[in-house]
Structure 1
Amino acid sequence: MPRYVALLRAVNVGGTGKLPMTELKAMCVDEGFADAQTYIASGNVVFSSKLGAAKVKATLERRLQAYAGKPVGVAVRSADEIAAVLKANPFPKAPPNYTVAIFLDEPPPKDALKGIKGQQDEEVRLGKREIYVAYGSGMGRSKLKIPAAAKGTARNINTIAKLAELAAGDNEG
């Protein structure tokens, strides 16, 4: 049965979209997703499902909208895809906690980097369905705005590495 990672957008960030991870895990179990496991309180869940990625996404978004009363975006990647995102990181020498992949539903537009505003010491590269950003001085000081990333959800490389490990089944528990 395929393993998936679901990344929720705007959950438990700055007081918006409060969703206990126990609730997220329970939703997954209720939907028949096996071996559901959450990771940190920012809306990350790893599980197995017979459904395809598009059905997993639709199922979770429907459940989350019913729970939150508003749409909650979900990015879904298979175990292989999350491992590939980690491997494709174009900034391997940058600190992993200052480097993110912004997960999108579709490939970023070819001109995605043209609309960037506020860029200082950040480096930005396009991936398959991601936009990678290395924040030289950290995210907290950054004024970077990437219009093409507006509907995405970012995770730092440390989190992506842990999710890839969990999705691969290297840390059953």
Structure 2
Amino acid sequence: MTRYVALLRGVNVGSGNRIGMADLRRIAAGLGHDDVRTYLQSGNVVFGADERAGPERLAGDIRRALADELDLDVAVMVRSGPELAGLIGGNPYAAGQPEEVKMLVAFLAEPPGAARAAELAVPGGESAEFRFAGTGRDVYLHYPDGYGRSRFSNAYLEKRLAVASTTRNWRTVRALAELTAGD
């Protein structure tokens, strides 16, 4: 049994794509997952599943169940505990950075094409930095001037990379890594 987290894109922000965490836990448990827990109200569900299923299949199953049961069509990205542990250990911006809110991770539905990844650039005049993680499915983000007003947003990444993405701040990534530890 491997611990995973499913990260839902764009839920519970604004008036659209509302989902209760009790419903999210119920759906994940209904798919046969064990020890199902949610973290925050932003669409993070942690669960145990057979590692043979694989992240892509798990994400597809959750996405279909959300559509079937709640008429909600949202992108779902799944990462294993070991993948999150690797992200924690590999963050190039963590050393000496006391402000966790200035570090984020973009979780991509799949690795972008090589040309799109190579062409990705921070908009002119911004201090943001990024680096792809080893798998190519995750992007470390650093915003020395803060994320709130940056044009280098999740929507910008999706448009430039042509891949669905969801972003979590570093505090959330660390918490999810702790919740999925112990595979």
TM above 0.5:
yes
Change (3 A) 1:33 1:88: same
- 1:80 paired with 2:94, answer no
Quote the offset at 1:53 in angstroms.
2.2
- 1:4 maps to what in 2? 4
Deviations 1:2-37 (A, max 9, x none): 111110011112332111111100111111111000
* TM-score after normalising by structure 2: 0.84
Q: Which amino acid aligns with 1:124?
A: F
- 1:142 paired with 2:144, answer no
Distance in 2 (CA, whole Å) between partners of 1:25 and 1:85 is 25
- 1:162 paired with 2:166, answer no
Unpaired runs of at least 5, structure 2? none
Q: Which amino acid aligns with 1:49?
A: A
Change (3 A) 1:165 1:115: closer
Contact in 1 for aligned 2:132/2:138 (Cα 8 Å) = yes
Quote the offset at 1:55 in angstroms.
2.4
Distance in 2 (CA, whole Å) between partners of 1:42 and 1:105 is 17
Identity %: 37
Structure 2 SS opposite 1:45: strand
Moved more, 154-163 or 66-75: 66-75
- 1:132 paired with 2:140, answer yes
Q: How many aligned positions are there? A: 170
Change (3 A) 1:132 1:108: farther
* TM-score after normalising by structure 1: 0.89
Moved more, 120-129 or 105-114: 105-114
Structure 2 SS opposite 1:19: coil
- 2:56 maps to what in 1? 54
Q: Which amino acid aligns with 1:34?
A: D
Structure 2 SS opposite 1:46: strand
- 1:33 maps to what in 2? 33
Structure 1 SS opposite 2:104: strand
Unpaired runs of at least 5, structure 1? none
Q: Which amino acid aligns with 2:55?
A: A
Moved more, 59-68 or 153-162: 59-68
Contact in 1 for aligned 2:7/2:43 (Cα 8 Å) = yes
